[in-house]
Structures are given as C-alpha cells and as structure tokens.
Amino acid sequence: MKNLIASVLNGNHRVAREQAERLIREGAEPQSIVIDGLAVAMTQLDSKCSVDDFDLLQIMLAGRCVLQVMDFLYGPDGSAHSWSKGVAVLGTIKGDVHDLGKNIVKAVFSGAGYQIVDLGVGVSPERFVESAMDTQADFILVSSLLTTSLRNIMLIRDLLPVDIKVTILAGGAAVEQSSASDLNVDFAAANVFDGLRFCDEKIGIAS
C-alpha cells in the first residue's frame, strides 16, 4: 500500500493505477485500497496544505491519480461502488461553468471514501435537490467561482422538503467572503480539505 500512497503524493497517475491493479491481483479488497491507500494519501496531503500554503498543482495531480484508481476499482460512473462513507451530490452552481474546483472536490472526496454523484456545471438549485432526494444523499456539495452565482446557492435549502435531512456545503473562490448563514448552507469551506474534515466529523469520523 505504501507504493500506492507514494505514487498518489507524487502525482503519477499511471503508477498509481498500476499499484492498484497489483493490489487487486494480490487479493486486496477495493474498500481497503480506498481506506488504507487513497484516504491515507489524502490525509497526508491535507497535512501539507494549510490554508496559507495550498499547493494547487500537487492537489490536481494527486486528484488525477485518485480518479484513475477509482475508475479502475468502481467503473467510470461509480456504479460498482458497493461501499462508501456516504453519498454526496456535487456540482458547480447555475451561473458558473467552471469545473476545476468541482473536479478537485470529486477527486479528494472519492479518495477519502465518499460516493460522488457528479452533476456537472451550471446546475440549478432544483437539480441539486432532485438528485439529493433521488440518491438519498447525505451531502450536497456546491462549487462556485463567480460571485454572481451565489444567489442560486442560497435557494437550495428552501427547496428541500422539510422531511429531507441533507447537509449542504459550499466552496470555491466566490464563497471565501461569505459565511454559511449568508449562503443559507451548513458549512462554507475554506478549501477542499476543510470541507472533507467537516463531512467526516458530521458522520462521526475523527480527523
């Protein structure tokens, strides 16, 4: 497992996938590869990337490794994903078509053991709610780079039926100057690992 962790931290996606394939051949379970390999790499990366020293390039390269491994383990759409910490609906909010931040969140959360339902970009508040209900999601993860799209984030909670309990997180450059109460969400994440720690704490996993 050490070689897989090292390849993810080094950003070598080909080696990361090869290591995952080797581990499967040797009898490792996919869940173990996620928990003892990918999640450990994400934790180590988190410890290196404080809010003031955020290495975006390293995170992007590690994220590509994670997605390569997850694609191998569970298929490109995650349909073979029989285990997860929880289900999270993810997308870039309507009014914004940037996907870099969303893709980083997908990689980091997938590597940490969450099942991600990726709705893409330009996602309406109604679509977030609809997908969360259809998938019985634990979390809604909203990405936004443009401040003009913030008003759409604020609408999501009010569209949720009162009997649907789902935690809403928002993140991205547009969110940095806003609070959770401003956005009508449960948490405004400073970065992807800040959001991950919140979700882990929410489901009772110590960071």
CB 20 within 8 A of CB 63: no
Strand partners, 92: 143
Q: What is the mean pLDDT of the chain?
A: 89
Taking the model in full, what pTM does it have? Answer: 0.79
Q: When comparing pLDDT for 51 and 68, which is higher?
A: 68
Using pLDDT thresholds of 50, 70 and 90, give the confidence band for residue 127: very high
206 pLDDT higher than 60: no
pLDDT digits (tens, 9 = 90+) for 69-124: 988 987 766 555 566 789 999 999 999 988 888 988 998 898 888 999 999 999 99
pLDDT digits (tens, 9 = 90+) for 137-170: 999 999 998 888 999 999 999 999 999 999 999 9
